[in-house]
Amino acid sequence: TIPLQHGAHRIGNRTDADMQRWRDLRFGQFIHWGVYAIPGGMWDGKVYNGAAEWIRSWKEMPHEAYDQLYKQFNPVKYNPADWAQQAKNMGAKYMIITTKHHDGFCLWPSKYAKYTIANTPYKKDILGPMVEAYNKAGIDAYLYFSIIDWNHPDWRTSIKSPADSMAMARFKVFVKNQLKELLDRYPTVKGFWFDGTWDESWKNDGAFSDELEQYLQQLHPGLIIGSRLRADEKGARHFDSNSRLMGDYEQGWERKLPNTIADVHGNDWEGVMTVPENQWGYHQQWFGHVKSANELIEMLVKSASLNGNFVLNFGPKPDGTFRTEEQELMRNIGRWMQVNGSAVYGTGYAGLEKPDWGYYTRKTGTDTVYMVVCNVPVNGNLRVKLPAKQSIAKAWALEQPGVALQPELVSRDEYFIPVEQKVYTSPLVIVMKLEQQQRGQGNFEKAKT
């Protein structure tokens, strides 16, 4: 291995209680909200085809025009208790809020910047009431923070001169000040979700990102920070130059998910997902494919089945309300989670071969395995292949705990569980209790013809 000063400092996953809590939560709500919600992907009668929160970078959007918009930010219908209730109904157990996106607009009255909520018609702190309302609803709060800050005069994408170095040095102090300010103001937050760390100025300063992570952990022990913050001294991100994960979980799964357990290399990880193909901030005209509740439930279950968390993104409107499609999704996902959430919360990889009909999740540390059926087989039987010497002690549909299902042993360590042929409008969940086979049970009945 290459000797590194600023590579991964830990081999393997965190084993502390804070991290186990993060794992057990499994389902999060991302919220992208800020000045970009005002144009909402449109300007001067034209539609921006990029991600709405990036509209300032659109050639059709003059920087000067964008940089005045904060003077109109006045979400009169903002009701964080209502947001928290909707998120709770959906079944989210943690929330990630954009404190400051790449445009540099701060949703809190930072004393280190002018481009903040304090200087808008709304004036009041957005973040405090949100963190409080979500915590009160039993939902943990995490803070998204963009290192890139298009508004700050000292931000540099690359260092090309001594003047750039001095500017960046000032910028790094500013970043440390803002992050400490956020921890001081919102001490119940459980971690940071860093973004905007791909430019050279950051990639080439692995020492600082390492120092910053340690500074934050020292300020607030137990913080959970993913792999987007750090670079090592050779500019490697997420994984250091010895292919070791930097940070507490792999944070590269953005609008994509792993397909097999091999893809996650034994690391904790989190996938973040948009409802349309690529819109994080509010866009007035969603185009392309808009994911359905069942698609998103499947992604959530797939993530848990591969030992990962799944975070679904919402982009509130400038008036402080969620668009109707997003409210509808929260209700529909929530209806399924109310009944079937136990197949997600506190679960992980089951250690079984991936079946065609859907996903297995295992209640961590137990013999309880959930079968989440997304593709009902035409032959009416769910094939269950177990590792050698394991058998199904009991099986039942989650919604009918009193009705024992009769798995048929069809060959060594392989069963058929019959599934009712009917119209399914959401994934079906079956619960199995596995057990080690008693001695002498190895032989199987003659396969029924």
Ligand X SMILES: COc1ccc([C@H]2[C@H](O)[C@H](O)[C@H](C)N2C)cc1
Structure tokens at 129: 């009431």
Closest CB to ligand X among residues 18, 254: 254
Sign of torsion, CA 390 393 398 404? positive
Q: Are the C-beta atoms of residues 373 and 298 closer than 8 Å to each other?
A: no
Structure tokens at 315: 């982009």
Please state the φ and ψ torsions of residue 27, each to the nearest 5 degrees: -125, 120
Provide CB contacts within 8 A for 120, sequence distance 6+: 70, 71, 72, 73, 74
Closest CB to ligand X among residues 32, 230: 32
Closest residue to ligand X, Cβ-based?
A: 280
- How far is CA 306 from each of CA 7, 343, 364, 374, 381, rounded to the nearest angstrom? 26, 13, 12, 16, 24
Closest CB to ligand X among residues 326, 376: 326
> Closest approach of Cβ 53 to ligand X, in Å?
5
> Closest approach of Cβ 126 to ligand X, in Å?
17
Closest CB to ligand X among residues 235, 387: 235
Facing residues of 369 across strands? Answer: 362, 432
> Closest approach of Cβ 313 to ligand X, in Å?
7
> Closest approach of Cβ 267 to ligand X, in Å?
19
Q: Are the C-beta atoms of residues 302 and 359 closer than 8 Å to each other?
A: yes
> Closest approach of Cβ 285 to ligand X, in Å?
18
Closest CB to ligand X among residues 122, 280: 280
Closest CB to ligand X among residues 280, 415: 280
Neighbours of 143 (CB within 10 A): 25
Angle CA 382–383–387, to nearest 5 = 135
Can you tell me the distance from the alpha carbon of 86 to that of 334, in angstroms, rounded to the nearest whole number?
A: 9
> Closest approach of Cβ 266 to ligand X, in Å?
24
Q: Are the C-beta atoms of residues 36 and 204 closer than 8 Å to each other?
A: no
Can you tell me the distance from the alpha carbon of 263 to that of 147, in angstroms, rounded to the nearest whole number?
A: 28
Closest CB to ligand X among residues 273, 352: 273
> Closest approach of Cβ 51 to ligand X, in Å?
5
Contact positions toward ligand X, by CB under 6 A? 32, 51, 53, 195, 254, 272, 280
CB-based burial label for 411 (10 Å; 0-12, 13-18, 19+): exposed
> Closest approach of Cβ 335 to ligand X, in Å?
27
Closest CB to ligand X among residues 98, 116: 98
| Rg, C-alpha atoms of the chain | 24
